Amino acid sequence: MTSNVVPLTSIARSRPAPAEGGGCSSRSCGSSEGRGDLPPHIWDKVKDHPCYSEEAHHYFARMHVAVAPACNIQCNYCNRKYDCANESRPGVTSETLTSEQAARKVLAVADRVPQLSVLGIAGPGDSMYDWRRTFETFRLVEKRLPDLKFCVSTNGLALPDHIDALADHNIDHVTITINMTDPEIGAAIYPWIYFNGRRHTGVEAARILHERQMEGLERLTARGILVKVNSVMIPGVNDRHLIEVNAAIKARGAFLHNVMPLISDAAHGTAFGLAGQRGPRPAELKELQDRLAGGANLMRHCRQCRADAIGMLGEDLSQDFTLDKIADEPGFDPEPRRLYRDVVERERADRGKAVAIASADLARVPDAPARLVAVCTKGGGRINQHFGHAAEFQVFEVDARGVRFSGHRKADTYCQGGFGDDDKLDVVLAALEGIDAVFVAKIGRCPKNDLKAAGIEAVDQYPFDYIETAIAAWYAERLGGQSAIA
Ligand code: SF4
């Protein structure tokens, strides 16, 4: 099994502790808030959830089981018939499971991936339309793994019919995909819906969907269930409108808003892909996310996972856990899960102190322009990956106000079988457009020079340090401040 998961015990390395504890200064992104920034009952719900907490995604893994193939709407960005083992995007799955098969698979994954904290059902159709399979799966899993959090993702059309059942299964997290509040715009996204025994089309279909989504959202938040809203940003269709969507969901109590770029490729066979509808460029997505700051809290670390994704966000172990690779009755040892959680608690405390030092460092930097930096990391909140092995970069923005998570950029791994591949380097350089520096655990001389020629500094003097402390020290040094941690 090739896992990006890093044993935290092997990488712990502390900075000196400050007199007072503190949190990351990235307050503009609600999903990155830590223990000190959230009410205790909310922190308790999000602290181990890699999608609801940006901080938790450094430590915990999720898995989706594809038990819900039926769907009640057609979206112009979706084609569930397309499958590819190497494709990572919503709706794609290699195999559809029965509830029993899914429960077996969850146990096998929990045994081998102690970081697993969340089981989600995200299709490949709709979890609430195919509700019997969804709830049966949860019923079977909760008997063996009571510490696992359950999560569903839905288009919202059938959601109001299942609020009580969701609460009865202790489901704290529900994601609704809401792309519009204006049915005229919705008609350009949804050709039809199936509701109350018949097919509806056009503006009427979008109006029904909108009303059901808002009803579901209001009733979930009234029950204290955290709701994340996913919106697909479709340039020229709903990109400007998403500002109204953000305000509408905030008013109804949504916990997070996750604006995702449209993935559009004619090869996927979607209506948008075949029509040549483009997705947004990274800069357009970031500009919209920045405009939304101050509204509903934003999620910026979504990886738009497959319906059978397994592992830390940014990695996918789904091909290691296909049914043919799982025993009929998988064994399960709970001890590694318990030990792992102990390690995470210690790491969190240590990292919180280190980040407080970083914040103090930055406060001494004279007012200066923000910088965008990319980080090679395998998790744990540390710079712990070789440049040549990075399949994606985490991106942070830094200025005197703090170090803020900004998103991630996918790339191809530069190192192939021990040698650098120049073609891959072009892909990596394209992914790093607009980035000032890339932080690595290690990098070879050739790619370092190539990055320099492209105007990007390769920073390798902070291997295994916490991401925030390293970026803060680097920024303070470059911008003339006095670093307390250098
Ligand atoms: S698609 Fe986004 S929200 Fe869903 S599991 Fe993946 S990272 Fe989390």
Q: Which of 178, 226, 255, 303 to mutate to test the pocket of ligand 1 (most atoms within 8 A of CB)?
A: 303
**13-24 tens-digit pLDDT:** 333 333 332 222
User: 282-292 and 242-251 helices cross at what angle (nearest 10)?
Assistant: 40
The helix-helix angle for 131-144 and 99-112 (nearest 10°) equals: 40
Over range 263-279, report the average pLDDT: 87
CA of 50 to the centre of ligand 1 (A): 8
Q: Which residue type, as a one-letter code, is found at position 163? A: I
The pLDDT tens digits of the residues spanning 288-305 come to 988 998 888 888 888 888
146 to each of 19, 128, 185, how far by Cα in Å? Answer: 38, 22, 42
Which one-letter DSSP state was computed for residue 433?
T
pLDDT reported for residue 286: 85
Beta bridge partners of 374: 395, 438
Task: Give which of 171, 189, 313 is closest to 241, Cα–Cα.
Answer: 189
Domain ranges of the chain: 48-325, 337-478
**For residue range 409-425, what is the model confidence (pLDDT) as tens digits?**
888 777 766 666 777 78
CA of 213 to the centre of ligand 1 (A): 19
**What is the structure's pLDDT at 22?**
29
The dotted CATH code for 337-478 is 3.30.420.130
Cβ count within 10 A of residue 480: 10
Q: Tens digit of pLDDT for each residue in 168-214?
A: 988 989 999 999 999 999 999 999 999 999 999 999 999 999 999 99
Give the residue, by CA position, lying nearest to ligand 1 atom 2.
302
Contact 344, 140 (CB under 8 A): no
Distance CA 28, CA 267 (A): 37
Ligand 1 centroid, distance to 303 Cα (angstroms): 6
Model pTM?
Answer: 0.82
Residue of 351 and 14 predicted with greater confidence: 351
Measured over all CA atoms, what is the biggest interatomic distance in the chain, rounded to whole angstroms?
68
In this predicted structure, what is the pLDDT of residue 34? 58
Could you tell me the end-to-end alpha-carbon distance of the chain, in angstroms, rounded to an integer?
Answer: 38
Cα 370 to middle of ligand 1, angstroms:
28
Ligand 1 proximal residues by C-beta, below 6 Å: 51, 62, 120, 302-305, 313
Peptide bond preceding 447: is omega within 30 degrees of 0, i.e. cis? no
Which among 338, 318, 460 is positioned nearest to 387, based on CA atoms?
460
Question: Which residues sit opposite 260 in a β-bridge?
Answer: 232
Nearest Cα residue to 165 out of 143, 142, 139: 139
Q: Do the beta carbons of residue 120 and residue 66 sit within 8 Å?
A: no
| Rounded Cα distance, 364 and 126, in Å | 51
Instruction: Please state the rounded mean pLDDT for residues 237-257.
Output: 95
User: Which fold is adopted by the domain 48-325?
Assistant: TIM Barrel (3.20.20)
The identity of residue 467, as a single letter, is I
- Give the pLDDT confidence score for residue 94 in this predicted structure: 67
